[in-house]
Structure 1
Amino acid sequence: MDTRSRLSRALRTPILFCRHANRLYHRRFGRRECNEDGVDPFEADWDNLFVLDACRYDMFERRAELPGRLERAESRASTTVEFLRANVDGRDLSDTVYVTANPQLSQHRESIDARFAAVVDVWRADGWSNEHGTVLPETVTEYALQAAEEYPNKRLVVHYMQPHYPFVGSDADFDGGDFSDPEATEENVWVQLLQGQTDVDRDEIWELYDGNLDRALPHVEDAMRELGGKTIVTADHGNMVGERAFPIPFREWGHPRGVYTPELVDVPWLVYESGARRTIRAATPDDRDESPDDDVVAERLRDLGYAE
């Protein structure tokens, strides 16, 4: 959806107009394309960078018991696409392999010049769970360990889909929408909540959201211990769960692009070291053209709750 279409839609829907106005404020009326106060994770020293999709710092601090030293960091982005554009676009990452459960890099491959040594799209046919409408965390860990064997002298970025919607980590049920079923609605859960299309208690949403992170953490820890070296666990962005936005103080849900509230940009930065460091060498980027059908990418993104 282009900028003009977004603005037209916002003008027709008051709450979306408020969101658009807040975005203009946070992006300084178009003078910046990302949160310039955020950290650049690719400048840090690590062998493995684990990215938990849409994981807030406060959520991680409250739920995670992973080994290592936890700090708070600030992301440069409030969406995955922003994260990729701000951190990998046009960058030489020929010493790095990107193992990802999120199709956004493939979706935006023409506008994001990602120069990785290789990209492992876990969300393709073999890694995708049709039952859950997402990539499960144990599958991501399995692919990450395989990538470490195939590319023993590369840094690894391992992008887990959880705790991002859809909710697969809780059996909680409630009236107002079956959010465990990615086919239940054409609108993602956060858009339903934003527009008042469903009446669900925030505590119930938090239970589901927390459950998604809980579902992933044991598999993240398995990967941390198996891969060894220096690992950083972080997130591409956070998520709002009915907190007041700024400067227009309406209740915001989800992770709208270009809005940099603490709930959206405060992310975990967990450092864990175990065993010998890898010897990292750059390589010629993998130029194999395995781009999936655009319809497949669009279907995956719909299941993951991305609404454009």
Structure 2
Amino acid sequence: MTLGDWVSDTRNRIRDDGVVGLRESGYELYLGGLRRINEFYPEGTNVYDREWDALILLDACRVDLMREVADEYPFLNRPDELVSVGSSSIDWMEGTFTDDHRDEMRRTAYVTGNPFSHRVLSERDLLRLDDVWRYAWDDDAGTIPARPVTDRAIAAGRETDADRLVVHYMQPHFPSVPDPLGGGMNSETLGEGAGWDSPWDRLRRGELTEKRVWESYRENLRYVLDDVSLLLENLDAERVVISADHGNAKGEWGVYGHPKVPIPSVRRVPWYETTAEDDGTHEPETERNVERGDIEEKLGALGYL
């Protein structure tokens, strides 16, 4: 956004919302300043520079959130962390799937619930690219649930000879499947092109308490970790890593969510190593079906546009 765009948006906001609109524009100006110093933040570690057979990404998972629930899941017993290559999903994809790792990518299967994959990758870039969000989007939940991603990841593990498997869940990124805050995202909202009012934005405006947002965030993490547990019982992989593409800010530096800014709570992500063995306890139900819905609408619904 240019300064001219910001001035124009500010005028419209003040006209429509008065002081509230001015406050929102002030926040956007502040974020713009932070983005300009983003280049001075440590570059981060490309996951291809680490050893793993399967990488399970929990979208927008904070380090401290993972630590809160780690004792509930036996496979989360080797805590570590690293600095991500990005502060948003598209930053992570662009910083991970690079020309320097082209050969490794062609031996990688990527199963993803994150719609940004269409902006960065094509099927020719990888051994397998399974955009689960294209055909398993849940309008009622307003996101891509965990189970279709789990099913397709199990299928990829059994059907391909990939050297590496990346499984990208959409949780614990809001909306929270087990504990929605508000109406969430649905096809009606998508059709209006209105996007979605994130709980992080509502927290910033004082409409929700930090305790309430954190409870919903934590339940969404438990929801996806239950599926991770199922995946680990139906996948053969000697070295599995459970991590995240980026984290979230909950007020640090006056920032909420995960804009492209150099904040440790956004760039630091969990890194837990474990193993997986296919015991054959689950048969995948989700098959690749025809694409439905608009890509940009899905991104907007998740608060990305």
Distance in structure 2 (CA, Å) of the matches to 1:7 and 1:114: 37
Query: 1:127-181: per-residue Cα shift (whole Å, max 9, x none)?
Result: 221221211112111110011122034311000000011121226x6xxxx1534
Q: What residue in structure 2 maps to residue 199 of structure 1?
A: 207
Gaps of 5+ in 1: 29-34, 246-250, 277-289
In structure 2, distance between residues paired with 1:266 and 1:213:
17
Does 2:160 correspond to 1:151? yes
Task: Pick the aligned partner of 2:64 from 58, 65, 69.
Answer: 58
Q: CA RMSD in A?
A: 2.8
Q: What's the % identity of the aligned pairs?
A: 27
Who is 2:2 aligned against?
Answer: 4
What's 2:270 paired with? Answer: 268
In the aligned structure 1, how far is the partner of 2:74 from the partner of 2:144?
21
Q: Secondary structure at the match of 2:170?
A: strand
Render the CA deviation track for 1:167-224: whole Å, top value 9, x for unaligned. 21226x6xxxx1534456634315743763x611111111111111111011111112
Tell me the alpha carbon deviations over residues 89-129 of structure 1, each in whole angstroms, 9 at most, x when there is no partner. Answer: 323111101000001010345xx99821120011122x221
Which residue identity lines up with residue 19 of structure 1 in the other structure? L
Q: Secondary structure at the match of 2:27?
A: helix
Aligned AA (1:265): R
Alignment of 1:92-241 (within 5 A): 92=102, 93-109=105-121, 115-125=125-135, 127-170=136-179, 178-182=182-186, 186-189=195-198, 192-193=201-202, 196=205, 199-229=207-237, 230-241=239-250
Q: Report what 2:284 is aligned to.
A: none
Per the TM alignment, residue 291 of structure 1 is displaced from its structure 2 partner at its CA by 10
2:88 is matched with which residue?
Answer: 79
Normalised to the residue count of structure 1, the TM-score between the two structures is 0.78
Q: Matches of 1:207 and 1:191 in 2, distance apart? A: 13
Which of residues 35, 40, 45 is equivalent to 1:39? 45
- Residue among 252, 256, 273 paired with 1:253: 256
Residues 134, 56 of structure 1: CA spacing in aligned structure 2 closer, same or farther, 3 A cutoff?
same
What's the TM-score once normalised by structure 2's chain length?
0.79
Closer/same/farther in 2, CA of residues 252 and 144 from structure 1, 3 Å limit: same
Contact map agreement 1:106 1:291 (CA 8 A) in 2: no
Which amino acid is the alignment partner of residue 180 of structure 1? Answer: G
Higher helix share: 2
1:193–1:59: structure 2 CA closer, same or farther, 3 Å change rule? same
Structure 2 letter corresponding to 1:106: H
Give SS of 1:299's match.
helix
- Contact map agreement 1:10 1:17 (CA 8 A) in 2: no
- Between the aligned partners of 1:268 and 1:240, the Cα distance in structure 2 is 15
Q: Distance in 2 between matches of 1:256 and 1:114?
A: 30
Task: Give the Cα–Cα distance (whole angstroms) in 2 for the partners of residues 189 and 11 of structure 1.
Answer: 20
| Structure 2 unaligned spans of 5+ | 11-24, 279-288
- SS, match of residue 301 in structure 1: helix
Find out whether 1:16 has 2:28 as its counterpart.
Answer: yes
More strand by share: 1
Query: Residues 28-62 of structure 1, C-alpha deviation per residue, up to 9 Å, x if partnerless?
Result: 4xxxxxx5441111121111000110001110111
Following superposition, the deviation at residue 7 of structure 1 comes to 5.9
Instruction: Give how far 1:71 is off.
Output: 0.7
